[in-house]
């Protein structure tokens, strides 16, 4: 039997890109999956691929009350929660109030709120796991999106703190830091045509000569959430094809 058969997974921000691939990866392995996002059309499309045992919720992850309502509803629909994946991002880029507010509210506080709401369900059975999604932007300074990078660094720190706080109750917490990931409708697909200098300059930093795919991130998330990683907690795993190594 597949190790994910009968397991329940919640992906916060799971209708597009990396989150969608994570949700579909778990569903393909037999898990019952719940996802949330703001867009109803993308949620419906993802649900159709995940199958009838899935659950979706239209949620603005900057809204604390919406998160507090969604997690218990997802747990009820799935029959519990074994894995929580915190994937959503507000993509705050400008060094102004709006940019910082977007990153703090979605990239950080949504993780805090969703984790706290899911914790009682994760503690209810052995092997509970949280995987937070950060970015390699956390690991180097940037002029282009300072709020995003700084808050993604906070996500890595909070992951380690969560791991220490939750270990006594048997819940592991880890983090995945993707490099540049390209997919239809995503940021890097747009930049390929809108800002080819940035796109090609970034591509030149990756030793393998290509952008990563959402599926390559999803596979690492599934590993970290699984019993195969049962002795791994508090870690931030870089998944960037060597991008941080430079040209």
Q: Is the residue at 2 inside a domain?
A: no
**Summary mean pLDDT of the chain:** 95
pLDDT at 136 over 90: yes
Question: 148, 158, 166, 199: which is the annotated catalytic residue?
Answer: 148
Question: How does DSSP assign 75-89, residue by residue?
Answer: HHHHTS-SEEEE---
| Ranges 17-21, 43-47, 141-145, 208-212: which has the least confidence | 141-145
Look up the CATH number of the domain holding residue 58. 3.40.50.720
Q: Is the residue at 247 inside a domain?
A: no
Q: Is the residue at 3 inside a domain?
A: no
Domain residues for the domain of 150 are 8-240
Segment 218-234, tens digit of pLDDT: 999 999 999 999 999 99
Is 199 considered catalytic here? Answer: no
Interatomic CA distance for residues 237 and 239, integer angstroms: 6
Q: Is the residue at 198 inside a domain?
A: yes
pLDDT at 140 over 80: yes
Q: Is the residue at 41 inside a domain?
A: yes
Residue 247's pLDDT band (boundaries 50, 70, 90)?
Answer: low
Q: Is the residue at 1 inside a domain?
A: no
Number of domains in the chain: 1
User: Which regions of the chain does DSSP assign to beta strands (E)?
Assistant: 8-12, 32-37, 55-58, 83-86, 129-133, 172-178, 236-239
Q: Is the residue at 246 inside a domain?
A: no
Q: Is the residue at 142 inside a domain?
A: yes
Segment 53-96, tens digit of pLDDT: 899 999 999 999 999 999 999 999 999 999 999 999 998 889 99
| Residue pair 110/86 in contact by the 8 Å Cβ criterion | yes
Instruction: Tell how far CA 232 is from the center of its chain.
Output: 18
pLDDT at 2 over 80: no
Residue 139: its pLDDT value, please?
96
Segment 187-202, tens digit of pLDDT: 888 888 888 999 999 9
pTM: 0.96
């Amino acid at each position: 039997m597949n190790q994910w058969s009968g397991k329940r997974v919640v992906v916060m921000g799971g209708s597009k890109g990396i989150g969608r691939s994570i949700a579909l990866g778990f569903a393909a392995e037999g898990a019952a999956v719940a996802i949330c996002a703001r867009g109803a059309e993308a949620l419906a499309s993802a649900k159709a691929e995940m199958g009838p045992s899935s659950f979706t919720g239209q949620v603005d992850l900057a809204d604390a009350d919406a998160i507090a309502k969604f997690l218990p509803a997802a747990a009820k629909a799935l029959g519990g929660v074994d894995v929580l994946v915190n994937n959503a991002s507000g993509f705050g880029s400008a060094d102004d109030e709006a940019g910082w507010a977007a990153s703090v509210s979605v990239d950080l506080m949504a993780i805090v709120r969703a984790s706290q709401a899911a914790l009682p369900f994760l503690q209810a059975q052995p092997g509970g796991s949280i995987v937070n999604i950060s970015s390699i932007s956390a690991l180097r300074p940037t002029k282009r999106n300072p709020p995003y990078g700084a808050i993604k660094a906070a996500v890595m720190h909070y992951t380690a703190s969560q791991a220490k706080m939750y270990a006594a109750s048997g819940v592991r917490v880890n983090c995945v830091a993707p490099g540049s990931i390209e997919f239809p409708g995503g940021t890097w697909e747009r930049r390929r045509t809108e800002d080819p200098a940035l796109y090609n300059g970034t591509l030149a930093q990756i030793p393998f000569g290509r952008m990563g795919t959402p599926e390559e991130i999803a596979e690492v998330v599934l590993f970290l959430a699984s019993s195969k990683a049962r002795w791994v907690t508090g870690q931030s795993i870089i998944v960037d094809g060597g991008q941080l190594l430079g040209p």
